[in-house]
């Protein structure tokens, strides 16, 4: 539990800090007065004013914000040069876009670092070497442990992980027979698979059977400096593309909203990845960083994408939307965001009770 909490705070803290730092740096760069830079939401456990800005750390680590002068629609403005609304559309758009962009850049750097330090995992194609075994899973309950070698499933010999996975996935909440080598002993045990819904390549959801273990790499191959940079960029853009496709399919109803996770899911997964090691935790952070970037550029009022949408409208019509229109749009956006929070919270609760 302690590792889960620490991992969750670390992962979310870094992602939020980088996001808000993007807004902050560009705002200061274009001459906007920043009144507050907050990591987390009040009540505050730390607050210190330095220059024009009060720097805060809130006790609720589920977000953050940068408060700029003249930013809110209902805020009185004087027309001073350091106010948000006094800047050009391009300058304001740069400030808003800087947050998601920093999350995108962070993902690239994290992945470059992972490939540089850890390299590429190499798996033995002629045997199935057991890696992590999920706690309280059918595999663990049957006695399977790390470094065991699986030799057959349902009396069918298996020589690689893909064949084994395909066979097990076809048995959903049904009994299978697994045989493996533990040290010098051959063990055979029956176990009932668990049910799991996973996205497929067509954008739908497949229901598969699992027993709860992963394959262990036999070694790691270094990519080198330039190879790591290349793979960092390529992998980031693969994640971006897959995330965009997933969001699109959720919006169109082609993928169940049950696939969306919230803070509790992030906390649980952070703990799991931390147990696997630093590379796994940082890869999960990169994945979340991309998700945070894309979520924030969606054209939903109250999110960064909603503000960018207002600026596009302003550029087209030659003047800002009325205060009444902006306030109404943000209220709609708030309702949509609260609805999303309820959905992901419900999904998280279901995951806890259903395992």
Supply the residues annotated as catalytic. Answer: 20
DSSP letter string over 137-186?
SHHHHHT--TT-EEEEETTEE--SHHHHHHHHHT-SS-EEEEEEEETTEE
Run of H or E including 196: strand 194-199
For residues 321 and 313, is the Cβ–Cβ distance under 8 A? yes
Which residues of the chain form beta strands (DSSP E)? 34-50, 53-68, 120-122, 128-133, 149-153, 156-157, 175-182, 185-192, 194-199, 205-210, 213-215, 219-221
Peptide bond into 43 cis (omega under 30): yes
Beta strands 175-182; 205-210: pairing state: unpaired
Give the count of alpha carbons within 13 A of 111, CB side only. 24
Instruction: For residue 80, give the 3-state DSSP assignment.
Output: coil
Q: How many other CB atoms are there within 10 angstroms of residue 74's CB atom?
A: 9
Q: What is the DSSP letter of 277?
A: -
Element (H, E) at 93: helix 89-117
User: How many residues are recorded in the chain?
Assistant: 355
Rounded to 10°, the helix 263-276/323-354 angle is 50
Nearest CA among 342, 312, 263 for reference residue 11: 263
156: tokens are 């069918």
Q: In the numeric block, which tokens belong to residue 297?
A: 């550029």
H or E, element range at 272 = helix 263-276
């Amino acid at each position: 539990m302690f590792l889960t909490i620490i991992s969750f705070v670390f992962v979310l803290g870094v992602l939020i800090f980088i996001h808000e730092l993007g807004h902050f740096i560009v705002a200061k760069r274009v001459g906007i007065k920043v009144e507050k830079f907050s990591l987390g939401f009040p009540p505050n456990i730390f607050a210190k004013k330095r220059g024009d800005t009060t720097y805060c750390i809130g006790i609720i680590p589920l977000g953050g914000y940068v408060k700029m002068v003249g930013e809110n629609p209902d805020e009185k403005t004087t027309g001073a040069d350091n106010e948000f609304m006094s800047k050009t559309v391009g300058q304001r758009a740069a400030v808003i876009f800087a947050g998601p962009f920093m999350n995108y850049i962070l993902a690239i750097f994290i992945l470059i670092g992972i490939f540089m330090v850890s390299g590429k995992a190499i798996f033995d194609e002629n045997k199935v070497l057991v890696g992590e075994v999920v706690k309280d899973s059918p595999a663990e309950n049957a006695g399977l442990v790390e470094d065991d070698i699986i030799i057959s499933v349902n009396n069918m010999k298996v020589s690689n992980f893909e064949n084994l996975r395909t066979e097990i996935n076809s048995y959903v909440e049904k009994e299978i027979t697994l045989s493996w080598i533990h040290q010098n002993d051959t063990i055979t045990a029956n176990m009932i698979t668990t049910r799991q819904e996973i996205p497929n390549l067509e954008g739908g959801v497949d229901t598969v059977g699992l027993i709860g273990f992963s394959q262990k790499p036999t070694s790691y191959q270094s990519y080198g400096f330039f190879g790591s940079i290349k793979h960092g960029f390529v992998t980031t853009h693969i994640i971006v593309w897959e995330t965009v496709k997933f969001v699109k399919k959720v919006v169109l109803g082609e993928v169940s909203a049950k696939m969306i996770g919230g803070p509790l899911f992030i906390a649980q997964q952070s703990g799991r990845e931390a147990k696997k090691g630093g590379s796994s935790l940082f890869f999960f952070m990169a994945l979340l960083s991309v998700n945070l970037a894309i979520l924030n550029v969606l054209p939903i009022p109250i999110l960064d994408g909603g503000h960018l949408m207002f600026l596009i409208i302003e550029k087209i019509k030659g003047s800002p939307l009325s205060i009444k229109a902006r306030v109404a749009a943000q209220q709609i956006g708030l309702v949509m965001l609260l609805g999303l929070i309820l959905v992901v919270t419900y999904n998280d609760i279901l995951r806890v009770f259903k395992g």
